Amino acid sequence: MASVAGIHGVLTGRPGHGPADRYSAGELLRTMPGAVTAAYQNRRFLECAVQFLAACEGIRQFVDIGCGLPAAGAVHDVALRIAPGARVAYVDHDPAVISALDAPLAGYPTVRAVAGDLRRPGGILGHPELAAFIDMAEPVAVVLTAVLHFVADDADPGGIVAGLVQAVAPGSCLVLSHAAGEYATAAAIEDARGIYGSAAASFAPRGHAEIAGFFDGLEIMPPGIVGGATWRPGYLATDPRGATFYAGLGKKR
């Protein structure tokens, strides 16, 4: 059976995927040819945002929820290059992802992989290992890149994000990217829902206004909630190709 992490791994050339993942990724590319570009643009946004937070905002704690399979340029690669003592917690509900992280994270005393499901944030926040590792009284970057569109409306994604933001200290930041409903036809979205459904996942791309709602109560940092290819604080060149997702960064005051 395919998995979301495996499909994304195929799109970005990462190891750890199987035949079902490759088949599903091929079907996704048939209906959404821009999926590979979007996957790489999303990785670029993540690297850019983490670099900005570590270098300019002094963030030293990162919790990456729905992290997926290991990849170059992951949160700890970027954060530790700037701040060697930074703490990074990776969270994923897929046991195969947690297992795949074990070897790459060996030798990093300030990095952990924790099992947890975004749809049950209380289990993440209350996880004993996370609670002992991440100090919620100090600023934290909550990273939700390319994961919320796998949370259906009836699971209350807005409430999930609000709960995570409420749990972290002032000065914390939300890093978020999300598939954009405006950039695909209804038929393509329906096909993608079927493909992700075979991986036991929902797929809910949303419009700009809905995605902006996830940042309610936060200070939106420049350049705002924009197409993922155009988000940049000055570190990396803007990708001239079109984007199929929105990206933004918000700060809790």
Cα–Cα distance, 253 to 236 (Å, whole number): 27
Question: CA-CA distances (angstroms) from residue 54 to 81, 83, 109, 166, 231?
Answer: 9, 7, 18, 21, 17
Look up the CATH number of the domain holding residue 28. Answer: 3.40.50.150
Please check the confidence at residue 242 and state whether its pLDDT lies above 50.
Answer: yes
Among 139, 39, 127, 54, CA closest to 91: 127
What does the pLDDT average to over 22-39? 93
Cα–Cα distance, 192 to 87 (Å, whole number): 35
Cα–Cα distance, 170 to 140 (Å, whole number): 9
Cα–Cα distance, 143 to 40 (Å, whole number): 17
Please check the confidence at residue 235 and state whether its pLDDT lies above 60.
Answer: no
Q: Which residue has the higher pLDDT, 17 or 32?
A: 32
Long-range Cβ contact pairs of 19-25 (< 8 A, separation 24 or more)? 24/195, 24/198, 24/199
How many structural domains does the chain have?
A: 1
What is residue 34's predicted lDDT score, i.e. its pLDDT? 87
What is residue 12's predicted lDDT score, i.e. its pLDDT? 87
Taking phi over 0 as left and psi of -120 to 50 as alpha, with beta for the rest, 129 belongs to alpha
pLDDT per residue as tens digits for the range 152-190: 999 999 999 999 999 999 999 999 999 998 888 899 999
Contact 57, 28 (CB under 8 A): no
Q: What confidence category does residue 57 fall into, taking pLDDT thresholds of 50, 70 and 90?
A: very high
- Percentage with pLDDT > 70 across the chain: 96
Among 143, 116, 140, 110, CA closest to 128: 116
What is residue 233's predicted lDDT score, i.e. its pLDDT? 62
Cα–Cα distance, 127 to 158 (Å, whole number): 21
Residue 22: domain span: 4-251
What does the pLDDT average to over 131-144? 97
Q: What is the DSSP letter of 148?
A: G
Give the range with max mean pLDDT: 31-35, 36-40, 90-94. Answer: 90-94
What is residue 15's predicted lDDT score, i.e. its pLDDT? 75
Please identify which residue in the block is written with the tokens 């790459």: 104
